[in-house]
Structure 1
């Protein structure tokens, strides 16, 4: 089989080049720029220029960052790949499983479907931002107390949605909790413990 038949062309445009370029674009969605004092300055990674770069400032778990971001980058990829905030998990990447749920200005969103550019000037809270030092958030503790997890992959998103459920005053009964949490899938089937944990946390907050 010749090089051209196998996809390796002599003019320099090869299958490997195309695949490599695509991978580079996916991996290099963000870079940083300098902000006034008080903002976090991050090391500038290798960047493939796309011509679609936007500048934004955002707060993640109380820390302010200044970034230049590919306009197509998702908030989830920005958090995980650029800021190394790995609590939000990439499950379905289609907004159907809830594993990537974070709070954007206090409201739960699936970060895989939220453009990073939409977070400009806004506050983001992930599972890492719930605890107060070594003191767990009441919802985190409730998940432990009620065995509301098995593999733990969906747990960060479950807890972020659960906190939002209680804050919204919708954890009034099991049916309401199940309805609010319906966008968060647990493949291990820990739903009984999840509902019990939310009920306990809601009761504790009300008390």
Structure 2
């Protein structure tokens, strides 16, 4: 709850209620208003919020391709097995994870040093640790790329919900087709598609979740 500690006490309950409503009211939407558009600024703000997601060593090893033009949507829809929401949503994000060993981690951590949040020596230690974990380990690199992109996609979904927008995550797509059509590099993995826009009728409500005692263990 560190975030709420920064908010005046009188506002904390309201903000917490709003975020809980955004989480509990979220659905995986299949139906979007095709007339709805999002501005560049709106799209940028969603991505900015998504990049608040955590990543190991603060690698920030993700990239977001915002597909919003009609021709690009048509190509992506074909690669996504014809799913209509790709064309109807205001934007569909291709959330990519980047292989951790190819990231210039020292450069990613430089802003933290300049802000006085991290000593230079800690940076050197993190860089060495990341190199040890990922160097010559393709499986670890891929796993980390998928983890980071998944956390970013989840944060993007919640950012959309908090902004009053619907979202629909998709794993049903041809990854190689997406890679080819959108020019992904050899160090990028298309992990998830996330359609975002104004909901149309027919999406329903969030489905019931398993009871807490089935999913949580206190130890």
TM-score (norm 2): 0.24
TM-score (norm 1): 0.24
Structure (1 or 2) with the greater helix fraction = 2
Higher RCO (Cα < 8 Å, 6 or more apart): 2
